[in-house]
Amino acid sequence: MKRIYLDNASTTPVAPDVVAELLPFLDSQFGNASSIHAFGQQTRNALELAREELAKAIGAKPSEVFFTSSGTEADNLALKGAVLARLGEPIQILTSKLEHKAVLESVEWIQKKFNIAVDFIAHDSKGRLDLDDLKKKIRPNHFTVISIMHANNELGNINPIKEIAAISKSHNAIFHTDAVQSAGKLRLDVDELGVDLMAISGHKFYAPKGVGAIYVRTGVQVESLLHGGTHERNRRAGTENVAFAVALVKALKFAHANLQQDFLHVASLQKAFLETISERNVPFSLNGDEVSKLPHIINLSFPIPTRQKLAGDVLLLALDAAGVAVSSGSACTSGTAKPSHVLLALGKSEHEARASVRVSFSKFNTEEEIRDAAGRFADVLKRLL
């Protein structure tokens, strides 16, 4: 049986052209970028070139870009770093319940540790944020950090980042966006978006797992979380992973070169998937915003009767047994047998959340395998419905 991978929002395979770019840095160009000899200078030059290219790709200055070990680290650094830099003042974090755990758990940790104010922006049952509520919830006389993701990893919803940035600016707040799911899929220009902090992660756009980056607008203070050497201009100690930093930047450049073409391809895959399960008469409803969304991610709920006990990841395991790899939410939540916090926040019951799956497509999927996967999907669901 050929296994079909439709869990690309969890991680993507590393593209062969990205592997080719990173291999020399695991082999001949192995120097430590902080060493002053020629071996070190060679990798230092590659790292700084990668930084310049990344900055150019997102409309930033090289001095505003820092490499991290992951999207999670970039989110932690943005939130904890911004709060630590202003401790002693009244501080508020304003976010939403639909964020990734890298944001939500960081916020919870900060709140417990420093007893700062945390507020959540209201949203509707499709996960669309209420921007009037956002305005109302900005506390006067506080240093406010707003953290709203660009694209939601479970629903694919694209949030109105420019509008939020304008509100943030007019209230003298700072605005962090987790752009982990949108990087490589939508063009990101930090000035056009108006963000102050932005996190990205390589493995969502065909670079390896274990490398991310953060954009920090000039003038925004962010305290370092890792101490040691003077790497990344004192923002992040630790010998730089040049191979993976280069890979992240090349992957982003490759993605930008084919952005529209890949977007349209993925949109056609999504259409083919939904068409096939509809033809097979599988009843389903789509979760999330159907208008402002990435085609790469769809989240479907099925009216599986409650007598079917869906404890844990029963549905996912049944699909896996049929050779279709999908997930129930973020990879950080699946495996814990907990229903998706995002679907619960949209008002779904635990059973409804467990009767839902996220299907996420990549540029490497073909229409043929999507129709095959959707057929297998229908077979599994028909047994449960």
Q: Mind telling me the catalytic residues?
A: 332
The rounded distance, in Å, linking the Cα atoms of 227 and 364 is 40
Q: How far is the CB of 152 from ligand PLP (least distance, A)?
A: 7
304-333 footprint of ligand PLP as x/- string (CB under 6 A): --------------------------xx--
Q: Which of 197, 168, 183 is nearest to 66 (CA)?
A: 197
Residues 6+ positions from 190 with CB-CB distance below 8 Å: 58, 59, 60, 64, 198, 215, 217
Place of tokens 């590393």: 14
The rounded distance, in Å, linking the Cα atoms of 278 and 283 is 7
The rounded distance, in Å, linking the Cα atoms of 196 and 190 is 8
Q: How far is the CB of 74 from ligand PLP (least distance, A)?
A: 8
Q: Which of residues 64-103 bind ligand PLP (CB under 6 A)?
A: 70-72, 75, 100, 102
Q: Which is nearer to ligand PLP, 42 or 333 (CB)?
A: 333
Place of tokens 């200055």: 61
Helix (H, G, I), strand (E, B) or coil at 324: strand
Q: Which is nearer to ligand PLP, 142 or 236 (CB)?
A: 236
- Out of 7, 21, 64, 178, name the contact with ligand PLP by CB under 6 A: 178
Q: Which is nearer to ligand PLP, 50 or 102 (CB)?
A: 102
> Which part of the chain contacts ligand PLP (CB under 6 A), choosing from 79-87, 115-123, 176-184, 241-249?
176-184
CB distance 121 to 129 below 8 Å: yes
Q: In the numeric block, which tokens belong to residue 15?
A: 């593209």
CB distance 242 to 43 below 8 Å: yes
Number of residues in contact with ligand PLP, rule: CB under 6 A?
15
Q: Which is nearer to ligand PLP, 181 or 356 (CB)?
A: 181
Q: How far is the CB of 207 from ligand PLP (least distance, A)?
A: 10
Q: Does 341 bind ligand PLP (CB under 6 A)?
A: no
Write out the residues near ligand PLP by the rule CB under 6 A: 70-72, 75, 100, 102, 149, 153, 178, 180-181, 201, 212, 330-331
